[in-house]
Amino acid sequence: MLETSNHSLERNPHAAARGFGQIFGIHPAMAFLTLIVDMMLFGGEVGTLGASLPISFAGGIVLAFITFRAQKRYGDDTESAFIKALILGFLTAIPTALPAFIYVPSGVVGLVHNLRRK
């Protein structure tokens, strides 16, 4: 049964006012960093035939930590910043090249959100 109560609004009254950019946007620098880190790690994985997977895992953890800190400064609450950081860290640790359409749109949304805020 679909629940129609506003339980999340009771817990966080500002949740509805956050807007599309804050909910789906990531800091543009984090989108760029994810692109660069993923290209570097995937190149190493191809060259070593997957032997560098532990390095990719560690790189994903470091990227997740950096993203978490950046998203907190970007204005996300702890839970949103943590979820976005885990998503980017996980996608980076997967031993395949990430298609840019996964995270670049979030960076663009974040950039538009930054420009509208000023």
pTM of the model: 0.70
What ranges do the domains of the chain cover?
28-117
**What is the structure's pLDDT at 7?**
47
pLDDT tens string, the chain, 118 residues long: the values are 444 444 444 555 444 446 766 677 888 899 889 888 888 888 887 788 878 888 889 999 999 999 999 999 988 899 999 999 999 999 888 877 766 666 677 778 888 877 887 6
Cα separation, 7 vs 74, in Å, equals 25
**What is the structure's pLDDT at 99?**
67
Residue pair 109/24 in contact by the 8 Å Cβ criterion: yes
